[in-house]
Each structure stands twice: as structure tokens, then as C-alpha cells.
Structure 1
């Protein structure tokens, strides 16, 4: 079990996932959850912190506090994406983002697509230094990615458990997807809804998919990658039909992928080097080409002038 939990992975994979995760933190602040900053405008009585917020305990957020977390977290996430000071910056980003999520989810709605992402933020600082393209294998990095993978799969399995716990088989035989399409469906979803019994089949399929998701750990590497591809396609259909993205979950799921093979930083360095090597020399101009290298003379050059007429030179012996 310990060997499986700490299965070594290339450091380049850790570096790639670390950069992706921290860049998503910055994107999440300005694209996906900027509405958190507006939550502090409501009365403080509406703030009902999650259990962890009550145990610590954490203060009721104020505009100044939320603004400080926003700008500090944004700056630290961008710095952490460079790979510098992985432990100091990593733990700082995790602590601030964790508080950002507590604020976001303490007003009545809790999203379950953040579990794997939060585990990734907590585990990546323990992996130590890693550089893009480094093939050296690390068990610490393997452990960080493995626990992230476990959290990703638990998100699926526990979602199915919650469906069965609160809805039973009625969840699969009811009108869950129909209500979702009515509330936030797309034109593509409207086309699907017109097919008889397709939504019921989809609900049974979702339940089976989530319950069987832990099987991914038992598959050979090739089939595991194909299964993860299926997971992504499932979320692609979800986005296209009911506009639910699960973006942080999709980022955490890259822990299954060999991202060390995608090396944009290394490619950029090679591109810059090639451009530098292929640049024109800046020294003195080269000598002009020799006449024989200039090619044939142009057509408009006149021919040589004919010789001048005159007496022919004497032929024979000279007269004494």
C-alpha cells in the first residue's frame, strides 16, 4: 500500500501540474469566483460559516479582509506558478485559498467540485522543488499526485453515495436531468430531451459511472488514460447541456495525466534559441562576389567594337 501511495513520478510532471494549479487559482479569483467579493455587502447575520470555520474559529468577513485576501492570494498564486519557494508559497496559497472558499461557501451553497483541487493545493507543497522537463523521479511528488487522484475519485463515488442516500433509486428514475435542463439547459440539451427515455438512461449511466469510478486505479496505464479521457468527455457533455463546468475538479484530474510530455516552457526556450541562432549576423558586410559568380552579362550590354582596318604585318624574313 505504501509503495502504491508513493509511486515515483517524474519531477517534470509535478512542475507542470503545480504551474497549472496555481495559475487556475489566479483565474478562479478573477473569472470563476469574483462574486465572493460582493458577499461582504450583505448583513453579517447571513454569514453561516462551515464547520471548519466554526472550529478554528474564523472571523466574519469584512470588505477590507476580503480585499486583502484577494490581492494577496492573486500575487502569491502567480509567484507560486513559477516554482520558486514551493513550500513557503505553496502553504501560503493553500491557507488563503482555503479561507476564500470558506467565505464563498458559507452563505448557503456548497460546491463539491473543489475537494480534489483543495487536496492538490495542500499536497503540492510537500513535493519539494521540481523543474519542467526534469525526468528525475520523486516519491514525494508521487504521493502528492496520488492523494489528489484519490480525492478526485472520491468526489465521484461520494456523489453517487449521496444520491442513493437522499434519493434512493428514485434519483435514477425521476426527473432530475429534466429539471436541470428546464432551469439552465442549452439548445443542445433541448434536442436531447426530445429523445424518449434518453434522460432516464443517462441518469442510470451517471449513477453507474460514479459508483464504478474507483476501478480506474485497477486498470493498466493505457486503459487508465483512456478512462480519464472518458471522464473529461462526460464533463464536456455536462457543460454543453446544463452549463456546469466543474473547472477546479478538471484541473485536479490532470494529476492522472503525463503532463511532463507537454512542456510549453521548454518549447518556448527552444523557440527563442532557434530564433537567436537563426538571426542575421551583425558584423561587416561580406566581400562582393567574384566576376565568375555574377552570372551571365545582361542582354543590353553592347558587343565589343570591330578592329580598325590597316596594313597587314609583314610576313617572312627581315631584309638585311
Structure 2
């Protein structure tokens, strides 16, 4: 079991995942949940903190607290996305975002799409430094991603448990989806709702899907990617029909993907190097005439490669001397 929990993965994977997670924190503040800032203007009497808010205890939101928290979290998340000071900035972002979520969810509504994302924020600082594109295998990186994956699957499985616990078997035969379509359905949802018994069948399918979600851990790696693709397709249909995005959950679910293959930073550096590096100097473009070694016109001649002690390209082209032949044979001199 311990080997499964700490199965090594490339450090480049957790570096890419970390950048994605912290950039989403900034996007969440600005685009996905900007309404949380409105809590600053709500009277303190309406604040009913979650259990953790009562346990610690956390302060009642005030305009000063909410606005300071907003800007501190935004700046810390953008700084953490660069990969610098991964432990100090990582723990800072987790603590600030945790308080941000307590404020958001202490006014009567709790979203369960944040669970896996919060777990990801909690475990990422434990990895330490990781560079994009680094193929070095790391058990610490594997543990952080595995714990996030478990949280993602628990979100599905426990959602089904809650449906059956509070709604009973009647949840599957009730009008849950019908009410959701009436409240926030799209034109596509209106078309689906007209098909007899299709919504009932969909409710049975949702329960089956959520209860069977742990199967993602027991299938082969090839099938695991197919299962994760199905997870994403489920949320795509959810957005297209009842406009519920589960955006933070979708970000956490990228912990199943081989993100190290993207290597955006490395690709950007290569593009920058090609534009300003010696490779792109005039006369050295690929396919230059003359077939000179190192000029892109032909293969490099033996005996004059980098690090062989020769004087470099100029010493063999300016002198007009061809490379040395076999032992005992004089090299011809080019006129």
C-alpha cells in the first residue's frame, strides 16, 4: 500500500500541476468566484461559520479582512505559480485560500467541488523544488499527486453516498434533474427533458458512475486515461445542460494526467533561443549552400566536432584544409 501511495512520478509532472493549480487560484479570485468579495458588505450577524471556523476559531469577515485577504492571496498565488520558494509560498497560498473558502461557504451553501482542489493546495508544498520538464522520478511528487487523486475520487463516491443517505433510493426516481433544468437549464437541456424517462435514466447513471469511480485506481494505465476522459466528458455534459462547471475539481483531476509532456516553459525558452541565439545568425540557416560543417549544408566532418581540440569551424575553413584521412595518408590541400 505504501508503495502505491508513493509511486514515483517525474518532478516535471508536479511542477506543471503546481503551476496550473496556483494560476487557477488567481483565476478563481478574478473570474470564477468574484462574488466572494461581496461578503465584505454583508452584516456580521449573517455569518454562520463552518465547523472548522468555529473550531479554530476564525474571525468574522469585515471589509478590511476580506480585501486584505483577496490581494494577499492573489499576489501569493501568482508568485507561487513561478515555482520559486515552493514551500513558503505554497503554505501561504493554502492557508489564505482555506480562509477564503471558509468565508465563501459560511453563508448557507457549501460547494463540494473544492475538496480535491484544497487537498492539492495542502500537499503541493511538501514536494519542494521541481522544474518543468524534469524527468527525475520522485516519491514525494508521487505521494502529492496520489493523495490529490484520492480526494478527487472521494468527491464522486461521497457525493453518491450523500444522495442515498439523505434522498434514499427515491433520489434516482425523483425529479432532481428536472428541477435543476427548470432553475438553470440550457436549450440543450430543454431538448433532453422532452425525451420520456431519459432524466430518470440519467439519475440512475449518475449514481452508478459515482459509486464506481474508484475503479480508476485498479484498471491498467491505458484504461485509466479512458476513465479520466469519461470523468471530463461527464462534466462537459453537466456544463452544457445545467451550467455547473466544477472548475476547481477539474483542475485537481489533472493530477491523473502526464502533464510533464507539455513543458510550456521549456518550449518558450526554445522559441526565445531560436529567435535570439547563434543558431539563427545570418549564413547559418538550415540548408545554406556550400555543405560546410556546422552551417546546415551537410554532415559534420570527422575529426572536427565540438570538443575535439581543433580550432573550431574557422580553423578548418579559413585554412582550406580537409580533415585528416586514415593513418599514413596525407591529407590533400584544397587550392
Normalising by the smaller structure, the TM-score range is 0.7 to 0.9
Indicate the SS of the match to 1:195. Answer: coil
Quick one: distance in 1 between partners of 2:240 and 2:226?
Answer: 21
Aligned to 2:126: 126
RMSD: 1.1
Quick one: distance in 1 between partners of 2:80 and 2:39?
Answer: 27
Aligned to 1:271: 271
Aligned to 2:57: 57
Alignment pair present for 1:215 and 2:215:
yes
Q: Structure 2 unaligned runs (5+)? A: 284-335
Alignment pair present for 1:256 and 2:256:
yes
Alignment pair present for 1:41 and 2:46:
no
Indicate the SS of the match to 2:146. Answer: helix
Which residues in structure 2 correspond to 1:196-235 (within 5 Å)? Answer: 196-235=196-235
| TM-superposed deviation, 1:168 | 1.0
Alignment pair present for 1:180 and 2:154:
no
| TM-superposed deviation, 1:279 | 4.5
Quick check: 268-277 or 52-61, which moved more?
A: 268-277
| TM-superposed deviation, 1:280 | 5.3
Quick one: distance in 2 between partners of 1:204 and 1:155?
Answer: 18
Aligned to 2:10: 10
Aligned to 2:139: 139
Alignment pair present for 1:114 and 2:122:
no
1:144-186 deviation line (CA, Å, top 9, x unaligned)? 0011000000000000000000111111001111110010000
Quick check: 125-134 or 31-40, which moved more?
A: 31-40
| TM-superposed deviation, 1:40 | 2.0
Paired residues, number: 282
Quick one: distance in 1 between partners of 2:40 and 2:63?
Answer: 6
Aligned to 2:303: none
1:211-263 deviation line (CA, Å, top 9, x unaligned)? 00011100110000110000000000000000000000000000000000111
Quick one: distance in 2 between partners of 1:264 and 1:200?
Answer: 44
Quick one: distance in 1 between partners of 2:280 and 2:11?
Answer: 34
Q: Which fold has the larger relative contact order, with Cα–Cα distance below 8 Å and residues 6 or more apart in sequence?
A: 1
User: TM-score, structure 2 length as denominator?
Assistant: 0.83
Quick one: distance in 1 between partners of 2:205 and 2:168?
Answer: 15
Aligned to 1:26: 26
Higher CA-based Rg: 1
Aligned to 2:159: 159
Quick one: distance in 1 between partners of 2:282 and 2:213?
Answer: 59
Quick one: distance in 2 between partners of 1:253 and 1:271?
Answer: 30
| TM-superposed deviation, 1:276 | 2.2
Quick one: distance in 1 between partners of 2:276 and 2:226?
Answer: 40
Q: Structure 1 unaligned runs (5+)? A: 283-320
Indicate the SS of the match to 1:35. Answer: helix
1:5-29 deviation line (CA, Å, top 9, x unaligned)? 0000000000000000000000000
Indicate the SS of the match to 1:40. Answer: helix
Quick one: distance in 1 between partners of 2:74 and 2:33?
Answer: 12
1:261-298 deviation line (CA, Å, top 9, x unaligned)? 1111111111112222465549xxxxxxxxxxxxxxxx
